[in-house]
Amino acid sequence: MKTKNHVLDSILKDMISAIQLPTYEAVDVYWVALVKIAHLMPGESEHKRLLNLLDELPIVCLESILHDAGVDALLDLDPPLESILVNRNERLSFEATQAAINSIRDNRIENPRAAIVSLGEILKRIRNKRAHGFKTRDGPRDEIILKSARSILQRFCEVCVEELYSH
What pLDDT, on the 0 to 100 scale, is given for residue 2? Answer: 76
What pLDDT, on the 0 to 100 scale, is given for residue 124? Answer: 95
What pLDDT, on the 0 to 100 scale, is given for residue 1? Answer: 66
Query: Using one digit for the tens of pLDDT, what is the confidence trace for 68-126?
Result: 999 999 999 999 999 998 888 889 999 999 999 999 999 999 999 999 999 999 999 99
Classify burial at 78, counting beta carbons within 10 Å of its beta carbon; exposed 0-12, middle 13-18, buried 19 or more. Answer: exposed
Cα 148 from Cα 125, distance rounded (Å) = 13
What pLDDT, on the 0 to 100 scale, is given for residue 107? Answer: 98
**Contact of 74 with 145, CB cutoff 8 Å:** yes
Look at residue 47 and tell me whether its pLDDT is greater than 80.
yes
**pTM for the complete prediction?**
0.95
Query: Using one digit for the tens of pLDDT, what is the confidence trace for 53-66?
Result: 999 999 999 999 99
3-state secondary structure of 35: helix
